[in-house]
Amino acid sequence: MRFDPWSPEFVAYPYDAYAELRQRPVTFFEPTGQWLVARHADVNALLRDRRLGRSYLHVATHAEFGRPEEPPFLDPFWRVVRAGMLDVEPPVHTRLRRLVSRAFTPRMVEALRPKVASIATGLVEDFVARGGGDLIAEVAEPLPVTVIAEMLGVPEADRHLLRPWSADICGMYELNPSPETQRTAVRAAEEFSGYLSELARARRANPGDDLISALALVADGGDTLTEEELVGTCVLLLNAGHEATVNVTGIGWWSLFRNPAELERLRADHGLLPTAIEELMRWDTPLQMFERWVLEDISVGGVNIPRGAEVALLFGSANRDPEVFADPDRLDLGRTENPHISFGAGIHFCLGAPLARIELAESFGALLRLAPRMELATEPTWNPGYVIRGLTALETRV
């Protein structure tokens, strides 16, 4: 099996192809024009290297980078995406991240734990009362969606809109998105930003005890978010705040069902949960790849990569690198030396990592307690996406 991000077989099991790619420091991948980086040390170093960026537009035009102009119909999409911290670089990134980060410190999110625990328990109790079902639709999705929507103050009646908008926008993060994917993403970006502009206006006039109100009114040493930044930030938080957590939950349980001895080990000792969650995120990684633009010439393992090139950092491969992880293909829920890269590294390191860890601990914990004999009902199928990787459903019996 070769690196083929459009093949369902590869998406389901990319790890043999990664082992082959790790034989070399980089491999040029013609179909996307990117340099694939497969080793942990290189992925980790490049994420922290300021000669690379998620964008180049702060230092060069498209023409200067040898890239085509973006078609104007994509403007509404890029306006929203580039107004959030994930797709900008310093100094704008530093400013946006500082304004938002105080809501996400480990201490702030730890205070949310009782609330997260009670939402998780409620969802799992209903799930058990129904005799099981699709774990993704009934537990994995509603937990993080509810938590992030409550943090931001999105009214309950509107929350069903968030998943489809997010999925449509995230389609653009896959490799070579089709024209249909692009049009769908533009429509979602327009609707989502229109919705959030309205909500922010209402909160500015009539603030509540929520993050949209706090961000709308922020006056940090005279610094404020523009309307566009506020909307872009909320879109980012609402999307990033649930997509990967849903997929970690689904893939994580599927990994446990595929490793029954490890599942029994966890059932016998719930104290393993903290290392188990890190290991599940390492062993079958939800976000397989992140891209970076090369802003100044670099060298990776002796191969020169010039300014203007793009590298694709293969997180799923880094997480199975035998140079860093003993017996990397083995799922070991007690693994303590586990410097996995699933939350990234460097300035864009996941802002929501402490919150994600609490959500995962509470949902896995509630399922272990309340559904102690949960088993797989049907073999799951994978979504087509490779970059944002997840199962379509996980049918279970309790």
Interacting residues toward ligand HEM by CB under 6 A: 54, 85-86, 97, 148, 236-237, 240-241, 244-245, 248, 286-287, 290, 342-344, 348, 350-352, 355-356
Distance (Å) of CA 95 to CA 101, 226, 235, 244, 301: 10, 12, 17, 25, 34
Q: C-beta of 38: minimal distance to ligand HEM in Å?
A: 16
Q: Which is nearer to ligand HEM, 199 or 251 (CB)?
A: 251
Q: Which is nearer to ligand HEM, 298 or 398 (CB)?
A: 298
Q: Which is nearer to ligand HEM, 236 or 324 (CB)?
A: 236
- Cα separation of 135 and 125, whole Å? 12
Residue least distant from ligand HEM (Cβ): 352
Q: Which is nearer to ligand HEM, 148 or 398 (CB)?
A: 148
Q: C-beta of 154: minimal distance to ligand HEM in Å?
A: 13
Q: Which is nearer to ligand HEM, 170 or 356 (CB)?
A: 356
Q: C-beta of 48: minimal distance to ligand HEM in Å?
A: 10
SS (H, E, C) the chain: CCCCCCCHHHHHCCHHHHHHHCCCCEEEECCCCEEEECCHHHHHHHHHCCCEECCCCCCCCCCCCCCCCCCHHHHHHHHHHCCCHHHCCCCHHHHHHHHHHHHHCHHHHHCCHHHHHHHHHHHHHHHHHCCEEEHHHHHHCHHHHHHHHHHHCCCHHHHHHHHHHHHHHHHHHCCCCCHHHHHHHHHHHHHHHHHHHHHHHHHHHCCCCCHHHHHHHCCECCECCCHHHHHHHHHHHHHHCCHHHHHHHHHHHHHHHHCHHHHHHHHHCHHHHHHHHHHHHHHCCCECEEEEEECCCEEECCEEECCCCEEEEEHHHHCCCCCCCCCCCCCCCCCCCCCCCCCCCHHHCCCCHHHHHHHHHHHHHHHHHHCCCCEECCCCCECCCCCECCECCCEEEC
Q: C-beta of 349: minimal distance to ligand HEM in Å?
A: 6
Q: C-beta of 145: minimal distance to ligand HEM in Å?
A: 11
Q: Which is nearer to ligand HEM, 239 or 398 (CB)?
A: 239
Q: How many CB atoms lie within 10 A of CB 157?
A: 7
Q: Which is nearer to ligand HEM, 13 or 349 (CB)?
A: 349
Q: Which is nearer to ligand HEM, 60 or 345 (CB)?
A: 345
Q: C-beta of 235: minimal distance to ligand HEM in Å?
A: 10
CB 124 within 8 A of CB 116: no
- Cα separation of 371 and 287, whole Å? 27
Q: C-beta of 233: minimal distance to ligand HEM in Å?
A: 8
Q: Which is nearer to ligand HEM, 250 or 286 (CB)?
A: 286
Distance (Å) of CA 89 to CA 13, 42, 68: 33, 20, 21
Q: C-beta of 62: minimal distance to ligand HEM in Å?
A: 20
Q: C-beta of 105: minimal distance to ligand HEM in Å?
A: 12
Q: C-beta of 373: minimal distance to ligand HEM in Å?
A: 26
